[in-house]
């Protein structure tokens, strides 16, 4: 999911949480795939009918991937230190040919 040249869509909630944790700069680490960072539980259902491939990730899943790839080794700790209620780490991949498949990272 993460590399360079982002096409990232995020609502205000995840942006505020990433900014409060000092992680907003991490948004630039995504690649040209469409990545949607969300906290609103309705987002996966709204996007499920997409006809283009994309990845949906909760704020927590996005930050965990940043840390796992070595871009910011303190990312999870920084996010967890911010006093917001966050959804669990959920990553949903929507393949244009087969629809959504959800996974829950560690």
Q: What is the pLDDT along the chain (106 residues), one digit of tens a residue?
A: 445 444 566 677 787 788 888 887 776 665 556 788 888 888 888 777 777 778 888 999 989 988 888 888 999 999 999 888 889 999 888 876 655 566 555 5
User: pLDDT at position 27, please?
Assistant: 67
On whether residue 2 sits in a domain, the answer given is no
Range of the domain at 67: 7-103
| The total number of structural domains that make up the chain | 1
On whether residue 16 sits in a domain, the answer given is yes
Q: pTM for the full model?
A: 0.72
For the record, the structure tokens of 93 come out as 């991949």
- Can you tell me whether residue 92 is helix, strand or coil? strand
On whether residue 1 sits in a domain, the answer given is no
- Beta strand 91-95 with 99-103 is antiparallel
On whether residue 82 sits in a domain, the answer given is yes
């Amino acid at each position: 999911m993460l590399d360079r040249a982002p096409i990232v869509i995020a609502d205000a909630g995840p942006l505020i949480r990433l900014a409060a944790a000092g992680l907003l700069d991490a948004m630039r680490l995504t690649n040209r795939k469409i990545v949607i960072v969300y906290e609103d539980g309705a987002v996966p259902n709204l996007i499920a009918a997409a006809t283009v491939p994309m990845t949906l990730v909760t704020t927590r899943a996005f930050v965990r991937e940043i840390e796992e790839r070595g871009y910011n080794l303190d990312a999870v700790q920084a996010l967890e230190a911010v006093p917001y209620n966050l959804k669990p780490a959920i990553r949903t991949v929507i393949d244009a040919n087969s629809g959504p498949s959800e996974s829950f990272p560690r």
